[in-house]
Amino acid sequence: MKITVASTLLLACLSVSFASQARGKLLGTPGVSQVEGSAGGGLVPWAQLAGYATEDEWAISGFCTKADVDDFSLNVCGAQANFFDRLELSYAEQDFKVNPLNTELSQSITGAKIRFYGDLVYSQWPQLTFGVQYKKLDTPAVANALGAADTSGYDYYLSASKLHLGAAFGYNLLWNATARSTSANEMGLLGFGSANHDRSVQLELSSAVLLNQHLAVGVEYRQKPDNLGLQESNWRDVFVAWFPNKHVSVTAAYIDLGAIAALPKQTGWYLSVTGYF
């Protein structure tokens, strides 16, 4: 249901021509949309702010993502606003299908991200941002049954990102490192913390090479805690992102999510589309 609302919102955004006209950033430099709604790679929030707004512009973007692994599938839709490339606000709704139990978990994620130093392309040191994601689980029963301590929680993260022009044999090289303080179990879909475990710091890394102005290939790695003792795994993916113009981006990835809820070897495909207004 919630996804339907978000999709409708996204379609409304797509069909209405916004007057923002933010085109200031270079093609591809905002990155894409990560699964929790922030600008980033696919799994990891990056230091970039969503959309093409620069210092005196604002921008709105919307996205939908589908990820399918052996026993689960995730549908996410959301939207981001970028104010003057200083502040990003985001909202996303996740629906997570648990095929073996024929049940569906959902949560909403409200995010904010502030850029406090640098520019991805031009500054000598990496662009630095601080972000927060507030997650609220709409379906608490499974999380409670598994021993989660809470059904909502905050993630805080620091991200550093840099694009090195021509650094890889003449190709542009991008990297991002994110340190996240979180108590979320499987991003929050299985609740937050447990009787014995609460908040911990997790490291998330991404790297990409731009093959030309429109195409990037890369890898991501996202460390995760195992608060519930269900062998929660670190995540990783290899992705291809396509930026035909400043209105849309499409990302496809092969994802390895390891064990989810003690079901091992969850691998599969990921597809995401972001529209920029």
Kindly tell me which of 108 and 129 has the beta carbon lying closer to another protein.
129
Kindly tell me which of 164 and 231 has the beta carbon lying closer to another protein.
164
Closest CA to 66 of 89, 95, 90: 95
Q: Going residue by residue from 93 to 132, which x/- string records binding to another protein, judged by CB under 8 A?
A: --------------------------x-xx-x--------
Cβ atoms of residues 260 and 266 within 8 Å: yes
Q: Rule CB under 8 A: is residue 256 a binding residue for another protein?
A: yes
Helices (H), 31-171: 140-146
Q: Rule CB under 8 A: is residue 165 a binding residue for another protein?
A: yes
Q: Rule CB under 8 A: is residue 26 a binding residue for another protein?
A: yes
Q: What are the angstrom distances between the C-alpha of 147 and each of 52, 99, 140, 269?
A: 42, 21, 11, 30
Number of Cα atoms under 13 Å in the Cβ half of residue 1? 3
Q: Rule CB under 8 A: is residue 56 a binding residue for another protein?
A: yes
Give the interface size with another protein as a residue count (CB under 8 A): 34
The CA distance from 205 to 190, in Å, is 23
The CA distance from 41 to 14, in Å, is 22
∠ at Cα 258 (240, 238), nearest 5°? 10
Rule CB under 8 A: choose which of 172, 178, 233, 249 binds another protein. 172
Kindly tell me which of 84 and 91 has the beta carbon lying closer to another protein.
84
Q: Rule CB under 8 A: is residue 267 a binding residue for another protein?
A: yes
Interacting residue ranges for another protein, rule: CB under 8 A? 23-27, 54-57, 85, 119, 121-122, 124, 164-173, 207, 209, 212-213, 219, 236, 238, 254, 256, 267
